[in-house]
Structure 1
Amino acid sequence: MDAPAPLQSAADEQDDITIARREYEDENVVTVDFGRGVEAHLDVVGKTAIVVAGDRQFEFEIPDEATDVTTNDGMLIITE
């Protein structure tokens, strides 16, 4: 699973946003870190995720293959 396009674009444009992909035996995880000291807050409306990280806001359609979308320690975590 790839990171949603708005998040990937932001990571390509800004050095403080990093995206990590991890594959495990029973799941794949995409973690988005918005930078040191930046808290990420998540709202889900239907199939749309809205993430507010510091003074930035990102909206994206939750991938069909995603089984969970959460935040933890200021990072966005998308699990497949």
Structure 2
Amino acid sequence: METPHELRTVDEQDGSVRTRTYDDGSVIVADFGADAGDLSIDVVGDTAIVVADDRQVEFELPEGADEISVNNGVLTIEE
């Protein structure tokens, strides 16, 4: 599973994005950092909209993404 380009901007703004590939799938983890505040996500069709305080990131879900969640400022996309 490839990390959406729009999520890569998180790395540029005091966060981090990592992709891990395993035998049975892969996981993308985007940590929006300590200043992210309450992180929320809305999925409309194949589009995910992540809102962190006054910041919004919108991206197409990667092919194969079947689970998406947020917890403590961390977005996780699993295949």
TM range (shorter): 0.7 to 0.9
2:20 is the alignment partner of 1:22? yes
CA distance in 2, matches of 1:35, 1:48: 22
CA distance in 1, matches of 2:40, 2:4: 16
Give aligned pairs, total: 78
Q: Which residue of 2 aligns with 1:13?
A: 12
Return the offset for 1:71: 0.9
2:34 is the alignment partner of 1:3? no
Return the offset for 1:12: 4.6
Contact 2:20 2:27 in 1 (8 A): yes
> What's the secondary structure of 1:63's corresponding residue?
coil
**Unaligned stretches of 5+ in structure 2?**
none
Return the offset for 1:33: 0.4
2:65 is the alignment partner of 1:66? yes
What residue identity is the alignment partner of 2:43? V
Root mean square deviation of aligned Cα: 1.5
2:71 is the alignment partner of 1:44? no
**Unaligned stretches of 5+ in structure 1?**
none
Q: Which residue of 2 aligns with 1:57?
A: 56
When normalised by structure 2's length, the TM-score is 0.84
Return the offset for 1:78: 0.7
Contact 2:11 2:17 in 1 (8 A): no
| Inter-CA distance 40–19: structure 2 relative to 1 (3 Å threshold) | same
What residue identity is the alignment partner of 1:72? N
When normalised by structure 1's length, the TM-score is 0.83
